[in-house]
Amino acid sequence: MWRLRLRRDALLTLLLGATLGLLLYTQREGAAPRMSAPRARGRPARKPTPGPRAFQVLEAGAAPPMYEGDTPVPPTPTGPFDFGRYLRAKDQRRFPLLINQPHKCRGDGALNDRPDLLIAVKSVAADFERRQAVRQTWGAEGRIQGALVRRVFLLGVPRVVGTDVGNAEGLGARTHWRTLLGAESLAYADILLWDFDDTFFNLTLKEIHFLAWASAFCPDARFVFKGDADVFVHMGNLLDFLAPRDPAQDLLAGDVIVQARPIRARDSKYYIPEAVYGLPVYPAYAGGGGFVLSRATLRRLAGACAQVELFPIDDVFLGMCLQRLRLTPEPHPAFRTFGISQPSAAPHLHTFDPCFYRELVVVHGLSAADIWLMWRLLHRPHGPICAHPQPMAAGPFQWNS
């Protein structure tokens, strides 16, 4: 009897242990009655239809990964940012124009010489290759679909690492770059150079100086496209979008971002302390990679931004100016300032495909070679070759094939 009782207790203990282990395992794995097939691990969830990008509101102290992770790389290295120096100098907002294009939008004074679209591209002195790619592709000047297009590049003075502006080496470097940019301006007549350091946090200075320049030297341009040098623009789609619009009415359209939270992590290049911006979220703004605005909005923004305190992130600053005017930026799904996302349903699909780009207006984050190649793919004599299989052409590869 004693042995039977011991054997029964042992079996009961094993049964209870097995049951407890099963319960712990199912709890850890999140086992529950499944109504549908599970999603494959490692595959990203399907993203919503493009529209105003709403960034999630997180718990206090949590890092907002979407704004940090999806934001494209800035055009110039930032390094450690000295907010003390910034706060002391932030009220300095007028800098001399070293290279100007006063006749860019005037022509001979005739009505048909007034630009329908002015392209303004943020650039840096050393990025000649990207400027050439823009000039030879989507940013070409002239008549496009009957619209007159003009182009300028927006630059500050490059800061040469390891040199001091006050010594001979620093002055020599600045003179060297100014000479090169002056020669480029003579060749292409599209360089605007201001006398401030060309850094990421000074992009706001480019914003207000361009608005002032366009109001003074290009007041009759019907629309303005403003973007980065690493974007691809489908000019035909952009002009189609603008064709029914009235330049006398307010318009600022692009990839609109709402409910973005300031980055409080000190190691982030987008770090903003509460002393600089104390509100929990930014106003709605269009991603700075590329957006379009009307003549009426440009004139109003030039006045509003002159009254808004400077902020070290240029597209957020522009959202503050819009907020002052009580204007809401217009979201457009064809403006992709965070690039083209990989479709979750087709992870094998290559997104650098003309079939994607022919339906869009702006795609951000391309190299100069990618910009040139996509332009050629979209402007083939018989139209772009889409993603469906095509027979391989015999013979050696040729760019013009």
For the stretch 29-38, pLDDT in tens is 333 333 333 3
Mean pLDDT of 173-195: 92
Counting beta carbons within 10 angstroms of the beta carbon of residue 68, is it exposed (0 to 12), middle (13 to 18) or buried (19 or more)?
A: middle
Roughly what angle, to the nearest 10 degrees, separates helices 128-136 and 368-378?
Answer: 10
Mean pLDDT of 164-171: 63
Which one is predicted more confidently, 76 or 352? 352
HSE-CB at 309 with a 13 A cutoff on CA atoms is: 7
How far from chain centre, in Å, is Cα 289?
3
d(CA 105, CA 221): 7
Tokens of 309: 């305190």
What's the one-letter identity of residue 67?
A: Y
pLDDT band at 83 (very low <50, low <70, confident <90, very high): low
Which one is predicted more confidently, 172 or 133? 133
Residues 218/221/226/230 CA torsion (nearest 10 deg)? -90
d(CA 121, CA 131): 9
* pLDDT for residue 153 is more than 90: yes
Q: Give the number of other Cβ atoms within 10 Å of residue 326's Cβ.
A: 8
CB 138 within 8 A of CB 232: yes
pLDDT at 396: 43
d(CA 23, CA 72): 45
Mean pLDDT of 148-173: 77
User: Measured at the alpha carbon of residue 24, what is the angle toward residues 23 and 26, in degrees to the nearest 5?
Assistant: 65
d(CA 295, CA 285): 18
What's the one-letter identity of residue 185?
A: S
| Nearest Cα to Cα of residue 214 among 136, 142, 301, 309 | 301
215-238 tens-digit pLDDT: 999 999 999 999 999 999 999 999
pLDDT at 393: 44
- Determine what percent of the chain is predicted with pLDDT higher than 70: 68
Mean pLDDT of 274-285: 92
Which of the 8 DSSP states describes residue 248?
A: T
- Cα 130 to Cα 164, 281, 368: the distances in Å are 28, 34, 5
d(CA 297, CA 220): 12
Q: What is the mean pLDDT of the chain?
A: 78
* pLDDT for residue 169 is more than 90: no
pTM comes to 0.75
Residue identified by tokens 């399907």 is 46
* pLDDT for residue 150 is more than 90: yes
SS3 annotation, 196-241: EECCHHHHHHHHHHHHHHHHHHCCCCCEEEEEECCEEECHHHHHHH
298-327 tens-digit pLDDT: 999 999 999 999 998 999 999 999 999 999
SS3 annotation, 349-376: CCCCCHHHHCCCCEEECCCHHHHHHHHH
